[in-house]
Amino acid sequence: MPIRTTTERLATLLLLASALPAAAQTPLFDAHLHYQAEQRAEIPPEAIIATLVDNGIEHAVVTSTPPENARLLHELAPERIIPFLGVYRDASDKPVWMHDETLPGRVEAWLEEGDWRGIGELHIFGPDRDSPVLERLVEIAAERDLVLMIHGDLAVIDRIFAIEPDSRVLWAHLGDQPDPTILRAALARHPHGLFIDTSVRDERFLDADGQLLPEWRALFVDHPNRFVVGVDTYSLKRWQRFGDAARTIRQWLDQLPPSVAGRIARENARELLLDPLALDAPEASGQLDFAR
């Protein structure tokens, strides 16, 4: 029996996945993934795409250090991968990027080299909210109609919307204080451009039996159009245990009214990140162009 290449195995998996009945897995739009250099060294890009297909991830936001890793995945599966420009050259940039006056120029150059849909994940907190570098990145995102993924506190979120009221912000991890009261206040102040991902916070709003806590269920039901889900593959282990995280997400989504669950599982992210003209088109089959 001939040995199939990784690409051939992936093609078979994609074809099988596209043939599954719709009810087999609730489709998810994962709005927060990473594919870092050390992860790529252990998991080839074809295996990353296969993991997404196998777990019913219809679309996925991917950012990376270095940036070209996310672009590589997008080139491999352009209908599935939504690439965000990670602005860190390496881990040393993470705590100091907001003081690097050369960064906006590099970002503009990088943006010319790929079909980027957003910028981030940007790690920044209140004491640095008046950074001129942050201000310029907010302006660049607005000029190019890009989403900003922010890992920070409410002071930073407020500052971004003060710089550019029409910003579109994806606030990672339910903010720095996953508290329904704080999130309600943030959504009241920024009712149009602020979206919040639940990545790696799932256990915060579940009780010991895996049931949604009442205050969190009420928040999701009251604001069904402002939350999205994500696994957040911040480590190699998260990729290796991707299925466990995806099952947890589906478990709590299934406890919400179907209309709310559908919004949070995929529709909010689709409307935020996909071309409006594509929303009414047939769903992406996930098949790749293997002639490339």
Where are any strands of DSSP class E within the chain?
Answer: 28-34, 57-63, 81-85, 118-124, 147-152, 169-171, 194-197, 227-228
Strand partners, 194: 169
Q: What is the tens place of the pLDDT at every residue in 58-75?
A: 999 999 999 999 999 999
pLDDT at site 280: 54
**How confident is the model at residue 25, as a pLDDT?**
82
* One-letter amino acid of 138: V
Tell me: the pLDDT tens digits for 230-240?
999 999 999 99
Virtual CA dihedral for 278, 270, 28, 222, nearest 10 degrees? -140
Q: Please name the residues in contact with 204: beta carbons below 8 A apart, sequence gap of 6 or more.
A: 174, 178, 216
Nearest alpha carbon to residue 79 among 47, 54, 111, 53: 53
Could you tell me where the beta strands, DSSP code E, fall in 102-153? 118-124, 147-152
What pLDDT is attached to residue 142? 97
Weakly modelled stretches of the chain, pLDDT under 50 = 1-7, 9, 11-23, 281-292
| pLDDT for the residue numbered 204 | 92
Helices and strands (H and E) in the chain: how many: 13, 8
pTM of the model: 0.87
CA–CA dist 21, 6 (Å, integer)? 25
220, 22 in Cβ contact below 8 A? no
Backbone torsion region of residue 205, taken as left when φ is above 0, otherwise alpha when ψ lies between -120 and 50, otherwise beta: alpha
β-bridge mates for residue 33, sequence order: 62
Give yes or no for a contact between 176 and 156, defined as CB atoms under 8 angstroms apart: no
pLDDT at 284: 44
Token readout for 284 is 């992406």
Residues 108 and 181: their CA atoms lie apart, in Å, by: 37
Give CA–CA dist 187/193, Å, rounded. Answer: 9
pLDDT at 114: 84
Query: Which of 169, 261, 273, 194 is CA-nearest to residue 224?
Result: 261
Q: Which residues of 40-53 are buried (b: 16+ CB within 10 A; e: fewer)?
A: beebebbebbbbbb
